[in-house]
Amino acid sequence: MTQKAWMNDTPYRMLDRNLKRLGLTMLLGAIIDVILALASLVFPAWVVSLMGLDAPPEVFYFQMWPLIHLVFPCFYILAYMDTKRNVVIVTGAIMARVIYALYMFLSILFRGVRWTWAIPGGIGLALAVSHYVFLRLSDFGFWEVFSRAGNPPGMKK
């Protein structure tokens, strides 16, 4: 099987394309989070009933859910605008998405909440995987970027 060849392609152009794709996944994540947050703020009764929350304490915790989804896009947009300089935001987004998905899936298993909680958890996990794949294709290592807070190896604190 042959790979698709790009005319006048260099490894740097290939890395740049993957970096742009990484930025687009960050933009997609921001759009999805804004849609989830707006749906929760505009139609809270519908979303609460869809997620199976009916007790007052659970509804109180649900009120924080749209705010969480409004915080993510604030950082995602920065990573989209200049992905290479803000690559540490990508690693933070990957970790946040994985923790969020894990919480949603564990809530289904152990707290007995509805399976509809798997939808935002699955979306978060899919975004985390796409971020990670394009991060690696852009020649960045997750742990190297995270441990150095996005600074090059030669920089000293």
pLDDT band at 97 (very low <50, low <70, confident <90, very high): very high
**Domain annotation covers residue 6:** no
**Domain annotation covers residue 108:** yes
Taking 90 as the threshold, does the pLDDT of residue 26 lie above it? yes
Q: Which residue has the tokens 């995602």?
A: 76
**Domain annotation covers residue 111:** yes
- Count of structural domains within the chain: 1
Structure tokens at 68: 């969480």
> What are the phi and psi torsion angles at 115 (to 5°)?
-65, -15
Q: Is the dihedral of CA 95, 154, 137, 31 positive or negative?
A: positive
Structure tokens at 10: 């260099």
Structure tokens at 95: 């970790």
> Residues 119-149: pLDDT tens digits?
989 999 999 999 999 999 988 888 887 777 7
**Domain annotation covers residue 77:** yes
Q: Looking at residues 97-126, what average pLDDT do you find?
A: 90
**Domain annotation covers residue 140:** yes
> pTM of the predicted model, to two decimals?
0.81
**Domain annotation covers residue 154:** no
Q: Cα(101)–Cα(121) distance, rounded to whole angstroms?
A: 4
Yes or no: say if 22 and 83 are a contact pair by the CB < 8 Å rule.
yes
> Residues 59-95: pLDDT tens digits?
656 678 888 889 889 999 999 998 888 888 999 999 9
Residue 133: what pLDDT?
Answer: 93
**Domain annotation covers residue 67:** yes
The boundaries of the domain holding residue 138 are 14-146
Q: Which residue has the tokens 């749209």?
A: 66
Residue 116: what pLDDT?
Answer: 87
**Domain annotation covers residue 1:** no
